[in-house]
Amino acid sequence: FGGLSKVPRTPNGETHRGGPGFYEHREVSFVGRPCHLHDLDSHLERLQSWGFNALRLLVTWEAVEHAGPGEYDDAYLSYIRAVCVRAGDLGFTVLIDPHQDCWS
């Protein structure tokens, strides 16, 4: 659904902008990746107009537990739930695709 799902929104982690260093991971937020909720319908409607009815939603572990082991980002998890609910309301099947690209 969006390549920007892998980088924080706050501070802006877009790599072409010289985003935060990896060492600053505890104070980031991925809420709003891949898009803000107020923009979600326009993106989903565009995908529908192209004939899509399934959504692969990439979720990185860094987004869920960036503050440290066992410290979950409840705001991000609520955001992901809202994306899934809205996509479902519009008839999409959602596959949450968990990634652990940087941490092991």
Residue ranges in 1-104 assigned as alpha helix (H): 37-49, 61-65, 74-89
Burial class (CB in 10 A: 0-12, 13-18, 19+), 86: middle
Distance CA 2, CA 10 (A): 17
Check: CB of residue 24 under 8 Å from CB of residue 31: no
> Two tokens at 37?
């909720």
Segments in the chain below pLDDT 50? 15-16, 22, 104
pLDDT at residue 4, rounded to an integer:
60
Mean pLDDT taken over the chain: 80
pLDDT at residue 14, rounded to an integer:
55
pLDDT at residue 21, rounded to an integer:
54
Q: From residue 92, how far is each of 21, 56, 57, 95 by CA, in Å?
A: 35, 10, 11, 10
φ and ψ of 57, to 5 deg: -105, 105
